[in-house]
Amino acid sequence: MLKEIDVLILGGGITGLSLASFLKNNNYLILEKDSKVGGYCKTIKRNGFTWDYSGHFFHFKNKEIKDYVIENIECELLNVNKITNIYYKGNLIDFPFQYNIHQLPQNEFIECLYDVFNIKEIDTSTFKSYINSTLGKAICDKFIIPYNEKLYACDLNELDYNSMGRFFPPIINFSELLDKIKNNSKLPTYNDSFIYPVNGSYEFVKSILTKVQSDKIKVNTEVKKVDLKNKIVHTSDGDYKFNSLVNTLPFNLFLKLTGESTEELSSNKVIVFNLGFDKGTNIKSHWIYFPGDEMFYRIGFYNNILSQDKMSLYVEIGVKQNQEIDENLLLHSVLSDLKKYNIITNQILIDYEYLIMNPAYVHITKESNHIYNNWCEVNNTNNIYSIGRYGSWTYCSIEDNIVQAKETANIINSLPMLD
């Protein structure tokens, strides 16, 4: 039997839930494949450890959005001034790299300064050419390029120059950099502080869920096919006729469901190990970036955020989307590298969780931007939208997802409702 829904939402992550909460129309339905909503924003609590699917630390610019997200959180909410470092040739230097090059050995510091001073014409042909021409070759070779190649698991020449948008450091001003070094002043970044619930990031989801009707969510429901022409979605739980459709599933998966080609859209996947140990650590960082030969590109310390006695880590490894993974072999390599770099000293692993985020970081290219923008031009006029970090095939914050969800809901709220 064909069921009619005015607003059908594919995916019950933060974007889909937020959109539903902003709708004035009560004739909506969220379809979620998993048994639990939240997408990648989920929390595991076990044996005294609190682990997310990966590090989810909310940075807010918009007070209205911040209040919206946190107003119904019931547990203690931590406000944390972040401590982040880069492991570089046996030493920890402060993040961001480009503003702390004075912490490098003198010869490398001079090398970086020289290249910054000689920055001239900006090259926007690729992401790699852009960063070299805005930050200087030395800074890029020492950190920016090797780190991002580990994260994206691809050649940075394949990416669009603006792949990271506002999250990528601005063009370095030589005088500003010297002034910062001379006065030992800190230049602001987009995420100098963050908030985090003591019970984990799923508390953000629970807060948003208080604004969504529970009977408007169908979990364990997989989308099998999307017929945009006839406005019908075929699922494992039957077929739905819609007036407006909002997709938050990965855009390549959504296109495949509609019968379109996805060959031009690529991404990496990220392997996450959440690791719990029997004792603590003297390391004070909240997270550390690794541009070297170690397996991981970043590790984070839940124990330093939550003030816990036992060391609790998340470890992130970027790999190609189709790369086969041997969990046990990879865990052995991770632990070996953690010992090699003195993250583990006398601690013993007592529990761990293995997770795969696929997709994790999408590869934003001129082609992917063209595909998405053309798709929106054709379909938005038919009340069909694809939004969110993965639905828009972009790089953005959780706050950005909520803002986009609200903007889309406002458009839908202006439409006539089905009888």
Mean pLDDT of 338-344: 96
At residue 56, the 3 state secondary structure works out as coil
pLDDT at 188 > cutoff 60: no
- In the numeric block, the tokens 């970027």 are attached to 318
User: Model confidence at 392, in pLDDT bands (50, 70, 90)?
Assistant: very high
Count CA atoms closer than 13 A to 87's CA, side-chain side: 22
pLDDT at 77 > cutoff 60: yes
CATH 3.90.660.20 residue ranges in the chain?
Answer: 268-357
User: Model confidence at 143, in pLDDT bands (50, 70, 90)?
Assistant: very high
CATH 3.50.50.60 residue ranges in the chain?
Answer: 3-61+197-262+363-413
Mean pLDDT of 132-153: 96
pLDDT at 184 > cutoff 90: no
Mean pLDDT of 253-271: 96
Choose among 354, 353, 363: nearest CA to 149.
363
- Asked if 296 contacts 333 with a C-beta cutoff of 8 angstroms, the reply is no
Choose among 306, 362, 359, 316: nearest CA to 338.
316
Range 297-301, long-range pairs (CB < 8 A, 24+ positions): 297/147, 297/150, 297/151, 298/55, 298/151, 299/338, 299/343, 300/55
Which CATH homologous superfamily contains domain 268-357? Protoporphyrinogen oxidase, mitochondrial; domain 2 (3.90.660.20)
User: Model confidence at 177, in pLDDT bands (50, 70, 90)?
Assistant: confident
User: Model confidence at 166, in pLDDT bands (50, 70, 90)?
Assistant: confident
Q: Does the domain at residues 3-61+197-262+363-413 carry the CATH identifier 3.50.50.60? A: yes
pLDDT at 185 > cutoff 70: no
pLDDT at 83 > cutoff 90: yes
Supply the pLDDT for residue 186: 63
User: Model confidence at 193, in pLDDT bands (50, 70, 90)?
Assistant: confident
At residue 33, the 3 state secondary structure works out as coil
CATH 1.10.3110 residue ranges in the chain?
Answer: 97-183
DSSP codes of every residue in 62-127: -HHHHHHHHTT--S-EEEEE--EEEEETTEEEESSGGG-GGGS-HHHHHHHHHHHHT--S---SSH
Mean pLDDT (the chain) is: 94
pLDDT at 174 > cutoff 90: no
Supply the pLDDT for residue 419: 52
Q: Which fold has domain 97-183?
A: protoporphyrinogen ix oxidase, domain 3 (1.10.3110)
pLDDT at 406 > cutoff 60: yes
Length of the chain: 419
Supply the pLDDT for residue 350: 98
- Asked if 15 contacts 197 with a C-beta cutoff of 8 angstroms, the reply is no
Element (H, E) at 396: none
pLDDT digits (tens, 9 = 90+) for 90-141: 999 999 999 899 999 999 999 999 999 999 899 999 999 999 999 999 999 9
- Residue 205 structure tokens: 């989801």
- Alpha-carbon separation of residue 389 from 30, 138, 318 (angstroms): 17, 31, 18
Choose among 52, 49, 64: nearest CA to 311.
49
Q: Positive or negative CA dihedral for 80, 86, 87, 91?
A: negative
User: Model confidence at 369, in pLDDT bands (50, 70, 90)?
Assistant: very high
User: Model confidence at 1, in pLDDT bands (50, 70, 90)?
Assistant: confident
Q: Which residues are 132's β-sheet partners? A: none
Choose among 261, 274, 386, 367: nearest CA to 327.
274
User: Can you tell me the distance from the alpha carbon of 243 to that of 225, in angstroms, rounded to the nearest whole number?
Assistant: 17
- In the numeric block, the tokens 């989308």 are attached to 223
